[in-house]
Structure 1
């Protein structure tokens, strides 16, 4: 077992091509973790080494409820890179049988697409989405793991050797299998493969080796789903398109399409409605002489008791249903032949022929069907004149009381809300404004359900608060105030708009100054001038780098005079108890802390210092470790003593004054940066 400071490694839980995963215990917190350690032979490969380092950096920056996080990164006693992450004992999705549970499949896909939308918006492509990388936590939530071959924007394909296709071939997009440049749509292809596997219990393509599998992904047509899963076929056709241009443009739109897939084929009544509103659109694309043939085929099918809806769909798609697919007959009296014609004249234009006298599709019917088709292809509010919004408004003008308007407008409002919030989170403000304006028009002109309106407002509110929180962390007041306009366009309540404005106005105004990299820091509210504080106290490892570079001698550390302490000298290197590199450094004096702040400022050009007691209230919101007291900038008695704030493992005192030349085994420090 590898030796890792601060951890007890117990056993191997998994191996891969470049690393081994161990089960271990983080001693400082007593929690079980999974520790991923690079294999020794992988260290000789620069590509593998850089890929592993990229994995650690990528995961550390992606904080999302459906992405496996990272606790700590380091090196083993033998110099092998490692990182610790949560131990997820409930297995991966490949160990679950989900073929009879489309609702659970939808939940898992929803979580994965949400995680990928978050990662893609930050320039990260996973490139290895597969069953083994979808893990479950104790609450049985799916989490996306192993960004080990992730690609960040700006790094290009140089991380991969020329012609090397990384990823698991069974889930690999055609362009990825060929070793070509990939973008986020390769991840969406892999999600499509995983969706197929969960629904059917097997992969869409099967081969004996990786090369043959890659060739099938690149060249073989997509097979048809079983009859019981036909409602998923159009979703799969787009998700697994050979060309990236024909796939969903992003994870948000793929998620919107997912929500529109029925969970089951439905009853006979649902099939009739699907026929009236779905098959008609496909049949309209057939040459006119084919309409009569389709009508005759369907009439014959009805007479034979065949599943006419599926037969009509197959004819419209250029296929023929086998005679052995007969099932129980459907009530033919409810079938409108006009549903198969592009106009209002029945089977052939200019004629009045209908089956059993059923009414033809109205102008509003056709407009609603066009709206649904455009939603399926992602044309929600653009292009102008040919969007789902345009078709819905056309239906409203034709028949404002049409019974299907409420359903169609609810679906469009939901899709617009999903796309708008995705644009908000990704920072595409012009697109978000356009989509929110379109959603407002849907609510004004049509009749989406009250719950859909409430969900839309709640979704936009949540996205805006998250984005303003990001702007706060980046000290971007201008961006946050601009987002308040989105709340107004979305029609959020005045009280909510004012809350968001107040949240934005609390962000300090830097007047054009660059706040710099604020990773690991939080901006303080209520300070006399803009400040950012480190979330955690300075660590033992961080202070060790400073001491090594500067050669600073350690301060004497003792709580009280005793013969034992004289004989057994204590300082930050040997405080009297075991510490890991990530633990707060203790036994450093106030003067040591000041020297560290000056050294850090010389390295990056910013001004660091200890916080004052007056800033402590704001500093408390920063969180971080609370097992040690912390030095403050304040002083008493001609600055012969300095203030220490906060309780520690040794004392419950909220504040005390101590000798600034001496270190104490329960006192550490953290810094603030002036912005």
Structure 2
């Protein structure tokens, strides 16, 4: 069992009727394993008790118990059976099973022991064939779930339960430990439904792990591991294990439709793998012997005939292959040439000419160039793919796959480093485009792929990856700046979150987050140059708006600077407008400098907006009546109506919005545009653009 979180010593052992629990033997993210004794039979058992957070409601607990009982009916020599299903005294679901003290597959080193690896794979595939035929898919085949009994027989544990704990069949990597994602097929990593072929993919990972001693894909976190299973090419085995490569290629195919169709087909393919990669007559006989042992008795007569033929043919083949391939001559002129290296999988390789002469001597061969390496062919393919823009897709024909294969073939090739840097630069350009077009997840994936490529090719500290990160830092900063220009704090914070998920660095993220949080929300101050304003949103339109009407002092500065004559502020029929004229300087009541400027005509207000806009280099105007309804409420000692830009009638009159101290009605009314009113002021807005 994978050790995720230890059982604390101060936690009491669970109480289960019919069992005596002695100690903890394992702990995982979903359960704790205890060693106990089943009192009725006097036998040691392992008891798996689910954690409270694993099955948080009664429905999920009952579903778990039903599925556990279904799995308990599986009876196969390579499946760990379930003895009992029930609940602890505290109501937590549990099931008991045989206690297997010989450890799990992850604790064994089988490198160089292909015989043991084959035996384990046969047992696991036999177990899966049995379970799949009964409609049960394991969904979590991994080294920790392959246990051994006292005779060394492999048994598959946690069958059909591991990923049914309330997750359902659509499982993302968010809820899984690295131990699971290390064996996860691409369709499961993408959160898609899985079938029996998912288990066969996991068996392929186990096969690689037993043969090589490491996992085929390695990453620091679960998400990166899952991405590698989805996108990275199938790795190449060491030369001594290349006879396993076709089996691995099919087992680890990215598409489920290209894998083995069922466990029986995979078993058959396993039996066809040459034993230990032996060559020549002895190797052929050993391989044949392995296969004959699996045949029924009635097939032995025909098999013996095949064996005799194999000896004769093998002797001839060994004599034919006594000299290496590049000792052969080609062409009509008799000039010897180097033989071609193995053609990269999926690529068209060079073809050799017809043999014109018998093999030349080894001494003559020394004068010839060495055969071209596989790396050269992969590099040629990668350069073509880079020119065509096929960086990471389509599968089987992209620069990413070709360069990884080139690295495995010859890590010291002189052109390999620059080619890898060129791909990283191409991924950087793609990430910039994706981020600018509003697809930060694609940009993050590109950076992750570049990081993995650099790490797997010893270029993690190289200038190409550093440049990639610098470019993404600038791209995110530009995104925050665009969001600030649109007064969109949410967009800016999304850009910062993308930077955080990309791992661009704490200092960069902190700086960008400070910039993002400085972007005002509706009702907050805009800051910057010009009049003190707040952000106002109306549908998809954004405005900057003054908090209050233009003050008497502010209007006085305009009037003095432009020598603008005051508008009349008496009723047209009043005789007092001649003998005691009123205007903004003398509205008929006492005002302070901060009070709203009144007795200012609509034309005066519009002229003030133009004058102040020229001074600030910004475009100010009066609000429409609809916009005015969204402006912040004015706080002043004397409430006034406010001019807005709307017309009344034939536009010989203008509208003032809002109630004033003179008129309690808030309904807009037409007023003469060239005259001032002692209860009408104004304030300015400026356009900030649309969403």
TM-score by length of 1: 0.41
User: Which structure's CA Rg is the greater one?
Assistant: 2
Which one scores higher on RCO, CA 8 angstroms, separation ≥ 6?
Answer: 1
